[in-house]
């Protein structure tokens, strides 16, 4: 079928490529005309404005918006102004699910259907396909089924889950209608919250392995430093790249994130190209807010989020408060950073 695509960054462009490979036709637009030009070709027509893009689609139109979260609102507004009753907007970005609920309601008044579609897959999605978590009216989602099916990885991407029978469900293709408006991005939000937790689990574990030679380094024996009692048991120089690799086969902790970690360590064993300032991009935070609202304990997911904040120096003031207290009650001077 026919689909408009607004936003031709890495994600949007690759979605279009997967769609045309499966026989769909796309009309595409990006604020950067070069992006559209670059991708135009067999099955893909460019447009130099949202109006033009809408004009090149036949009703009922379906337009996928794949732009940074910060500009999704205005883009949807511009697009909606050009559409007619019966048309469909799909937001495939990382929007906050509450915005979906509000947008869907506002657009419904104009007869425009709104679908939120959490899209996971990253730079590998072009080949692997994208995992799609979809929210919106059942009928609209059903209408878009061919689109979702082409973007999703397909049944063969994983062995069948024991206990599942009959024709594969949509989830087994890699896409799922999760519920009404917002449900797609809600599930995607928690997906990313889990992602933070998984990543932190590997990172902490590797850091412990990395410190397995702590007994080899003399630790200062002053009053400001806790001594290492059992230095003899921390004498291992471990090869983290080989360890990440060995875990990829047969172990309980095998995963795609581990595969990626093994790849990083294979090419840069000490990860010297990174400084350790870790970004976060909204979903992890909203996940914690949802947990708090729902009264659901999330100590692991929140610790993972806070670890990222700390990596960017956001604990500094709190740490200075701690040093100030120690100075007050114990006369402890802060220990300067050792020159290594």
Q: How far is the CB of 235 from its own copies (least distance, A)?
A: 8
SS3 state of residue 276: coil
Write the interaction track for its own copies spanning residues 145-184; mark x where CB under 8 A is met and - where it is not: -------xxx--xxx-xxxx----xxxxxxxx-xxx-xx-
Is there a contact between 170 and 176 (Cβ–Cβ < 8 Å)? Answer: yes
Sign of CA dihedral 125, 278, 99, 303: positive
Within positions 215 to 254, which residues make up the interface with its own copies, using CB under 8 A?
Answer: 221-230, 232-239, 242-243, 245-254
Rounded least distance, CB 45 to its own copies, Å: 27
Dihedral angle computed from the Cα positions of residues 180, 185, 293 and 104, in that order, rounded to the nearest 10 degrees: -50
- Residue 75 CB, shortest distance to its own copies, in Å, is 14
Least distance between its own copies and beta carbon 85 (Å): 26
Q: Which of 188, 216, 327, 337 is catalytic?
A: 188
Q: Does 106 bind its own copies (CB under 8 A)?
A: no
Please pick, from the candidates 6, 16, 27, 298, the single residue that binds its own copies as defined by CB under 8 A.
298
Nearer to its own copies, 4 or 174 (CB): 174
Sole binder of its own copies in the list 116, 129, 136, 144 (CB under 8 A): 129
Distance CA(233)–CA(215), nearest Å, equals 7
* Token reading at 131: 């995992």
Q: State which residue, 139 or 222, has the beta carbon closest to its own copies.
A: 222
DSSP per-residue letters across 323-334 = HHHHHHHH-PPP
Residue 188 bears catalytic tag: yes
Which 39-98 residues touch its own copies, going by CB under 8 A? 68-70, 96-98
E-only strand ranges, 136-212: 175-179
How far, in Å, CA of 179 to CA of 187, rounded?
Answer: 10
Of 85 and 322, which has the nearer Cβ to its own copies? 322
Q: Does 22 bind its own copies (CB under 8 A)?
A: no
Within 10 angstroms of residue 326's Cβ, the number of other Cβ atoms is 14
Shortest Å distance, C-beta 81 to its own copies? 23
Q: At a CB cut-off of 8 Å and minimum separation 6, what does 174 contact?
A: 129, 130, 131, 132, 152, 153, 154, 157
Residues in the chain: 340
The token duo for 158 is 């994983």
Residue 116 makes contact with its own copies by CB under 8 A: no
Site for its own copies in 178-197 (CB under 8 A): 178-180, 182-183, 186-187, 190-191, 193-197
Window of 23-31, 42-50, 138-146, 323-331 that interacts with its own copies by CB under 8 A: 323-331
| Catalytic sites, residue numbers | 188
């Amino acid at each position: 079928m026919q689909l408009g695509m607004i936003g031709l960054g890495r994600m949007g462009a690759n979605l279009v490529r997967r769609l045309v490979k499966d026989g769909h036709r796309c009309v595409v637009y990006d604020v950067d005309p070069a992006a559209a030009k670059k991708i135009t070709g067999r099955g893909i027509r460019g447009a130099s404005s949202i109006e033009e893009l809408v004009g090149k689609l036949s009703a009922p139109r379906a337009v996928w918006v794949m732009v940074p979260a910060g500009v999704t609102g205005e883009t949807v507004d511009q697009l909606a102004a050009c559409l007619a009753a019966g048309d469909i907007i799909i937001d495939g970005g990382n929007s906050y699910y509450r915005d979906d609920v509000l947008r869907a309601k506002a657009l419904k008044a104009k007869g425009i259907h709104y679908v939120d579609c959490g899209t996971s897959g990253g730079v590998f999605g072009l080949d692997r396909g994208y995992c799609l978590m979809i929210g919106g009216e059942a009928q609209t989602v059903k209408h878009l089924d061919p689109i979702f099916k082409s973007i999703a990885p397909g049944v063969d991407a994983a062995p069948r889950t024991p206990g599942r029978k009959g024709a594969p469900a949509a989830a087994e293709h890699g896409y799922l209608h999760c519920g009404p408006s917002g449900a797609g991005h809600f599930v995607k939000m928690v997906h990313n919250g889990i992602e933070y937790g998984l990543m932190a689990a590997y990172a902490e574990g590797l850091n412990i392995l990395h410190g397995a030679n702590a007994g080899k380094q003399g630790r200062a024996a002053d009053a400001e430093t806790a001594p290492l009692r059992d230095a003899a048991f921390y004498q291992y120089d471990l090869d983290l790249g080989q360890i990440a690799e060995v875990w990829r086969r047969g172990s309980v902790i095998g995963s795609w994130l581990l595969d990626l970690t093994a790849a990083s360590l294979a090419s840069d064993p000490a990860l010297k190209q990174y400084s350790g300032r870790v970004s976060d991009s909204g979903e992890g935070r909203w996940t914690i807010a949802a947990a708090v609202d729902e009264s659901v304990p999330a100590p692991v997911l929140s610790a993972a989020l806070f670890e990222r904040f700390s990596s960017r120096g956001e604990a500094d003031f709190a740490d200075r408060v701690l040093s100030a207290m120690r100075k007050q009650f114990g006369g402890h001077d802060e220990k300067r950073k050792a020159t290594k």
